[in-house]
Amino acid sequence: MEIILNPIGRIESRVDDKRDDDWGGVTAEIILDSAQFTEDALAGLKDFSHVEVIFQFHRAADADTHFAHRHPRGNTDWPKVGIFAQRGKDRPNHLGATVCKIVAVQGFTVKVRGLDAFDGTPVLDLKPVMREFVPERNEIGQPDWATELMKKYF
Amino acid sequence: MEIILNPIGRIESRVDDKRDDDWGGVTAEIILDSAQFTEDALAGLKDFSHVEVIFQFHRAADADTHFAHRHPRGNTDWPKVGIFAQRGKDRPNHLGATVCKIVAVQGFTVKVRGLDAFDGTPVLDLKPVMREFVPERNEIGQPDWATELMKKYF
């Protein structure tokens, strides 16, 4: 069973290198596809502080997709974990999902901060972040390797 | 440009009606596709407290997809907002993304609480929730209609 999706827009960003870390200060723009939508599709989004961006890591090669467990980022100080216990790009379906701060919404453009994706990335969905969908940070448990990996990420 | 995805598994749940609210107490199981993966793909997931489930609202009909703004749930007490300022199922690509509490991980099965999807829903990805990817709840701003809509949701 295949699921066929159509990008709703694309990301414009100055980040087009192989950056792994330091995404927190990056400002990017999501440009909605004006052939499919009107500006109405974004009406009301500016009343939210955060948006979740669902995108596809379009430069990730199928041949690199991991199916079994491995050390995150190849770091042998960290345990081998399965691809569904990691958030890296080399995953089945290559989907990314990141909550970003909304900087501005204007016309077909959503300007955001903290989007960990390269220039040209296809966007599949935008969802407003509602408080009730987010666990309290202090309720979130995670292993030490994840905390260490995330230290420089944003 | 089309993007073709393959489900990585499916949801098993007792919820197969048209439920809109009260998802918080629902326990569901995500069954990974054993034809594509080994149990290794889930290794280490149990060390996280929460998982984000990316799925497709498979019963949503393309004909019902909204492209312009509308009142959420048809409630005229609420303002008209665009589909990308709502999280409902009648959206382009019909993607859902929900953070759930992990109850257990065993074999090919992830048991979770709070997954707002029906029995049989195809799953496209599982991502461990890392604290650093989640804003503090008190940093999240949202309009009053969203707070009201969410009162009975979980």
Q: How far is A72 from chain B (nearest CA, A)?
A: 11
Of residues A127, A146, A133, the one with CA closest to residue A88: A146
With CB atoms and an 8 Å threshold, state whether B143 touches A86. Answer: no
Instruction: Return d(Cα A99, Cα A52) in angstroms, integer.
Output: 4
Q: Which of B4, B126, B137 sits opposite A84 (nearest CB)?
A: B126
Residues of B in contact with A137 (CB under 8 A): 131, 134, 136-137
Q: B23-52 pLDDT, tens per residue?
A: 777 889 999 999 999 999 999 999 999 999
Q: B66-99 pLDDT, tens per residue?
A: 888 889 988 999 999 999 999 999 999 999 999 9
Q: How far is B41 from chain A (nearest CA, A)?
A: 4
Question: For chain A, how big is the Rg over CA atoms in Å?
Answer: 16
Cβ proximity of A97 and B124 under 8 Å: no
With CB atoms and an 8 Å threshold, state whether A92 touches B50. Answer: no
Question: With a threshold of 0.80, does the pTM exceed it?
Answer: yes
Residues of B in contact with A3 (CB under 8 A): 4-7, 56, 122, 124
Q: What is the mean pLDDT of chain B?
A: 92
Q: A88-138 pLDDT, tens per residue?
A: 999 999 999 999 999 999 999 999 998 988 899 999 999 999 998 899 999
Residues of B in contact with A140 (CB under 8 A): 48-50, 129-131, 134
With CB atoms and an 8 Å threshold, state whether B3 touches A2. Answer: no
Q: Report the phi/psi class of residue B147: left, alpha or beta, with left for phi > 0 and alpha for psi in -120 to 50.
A: alpha
Instruction: Give the tokens for residue A141.
Output: 């448990």
Strands A50-56 and A3-5: unpaired
Q: How far is A16 from chain B (nearest CA, A)?
A: 21
Q: How far is A43 from chain B (nearest CA, A)?
A: 5
pLDDT at A18 over 90: no
| Residue of A84, A102, A116, A133 to mutate when probing chain B, most B C-beta within 10 A | A84
Residues of B in contact with A4 (CB under 8 A): 2-5
For residues B3-19, average pLDDT: 87
φ, ψ (nearest 5 deg) of residue A40: -50, -30
Which pLDDT score, from 0 to 100, does residue A35 have?
A: 96
Question: For chain B, how big is the Rg over CA atoms in Å?
Answer: 16
Cβ proximity of A77 and A1 under 8 Å: no
In chain A, what are the domains?
9-150 (2.40.30.70)
Q: B106-126 pLDDT, tens per residue?
A: 999 999 998 988 889 999 999
Q: Which of A3, A51, A141 sits opposite B56 (nearest CB)?
A: A3
Q: Show Cβ contacts of residue B112 under 8 Å, excluding neighbours closer than 6 positions.
A: B27, B28, B29, B30, B51, B53, B100, B101, B102, B103
Q: How far is A126 from chain B (nearest CA, A)?
A: 5
Amino acid at B55: F
Which pLDDT score, from 0 to 100, does residue B99 have?
A: 95
Which pLDDT score, from 0 to 100, does residue A26 have?
A: 81
- Cα–Cα–Cα angle for B20, A140, A48, nearest 5°? 55
**What's the pLDDT band for A63 if we cut at 50, 70, 90?**
confident
Three-class HEC string of chain B: CCEEECCCEEEECCCCCCCCCCCCCCEEEEEECCCCCCHHHHCCHHHCCEEEEEEECCCCCHHHCCCCCECHHHCCCCCCECHHHCCCCCCHHHEEEEEEEEEEEECCEEEEECCCCCCCCEEEEEEECCHHHCCCHHHCCCCHHHHHHHCCCC
Instruction: Give the tokens for residue A9.
Output: 């827009």
Instruction: Return d(Cα A95, Cα A60) in angstroms, integer.
Output: 10
Locate the chain B residue with the closest alpha carbon to A35. Answer: B67
* CA-CA-CA-CA torsion sign (A135, A80, A82, A18): positive
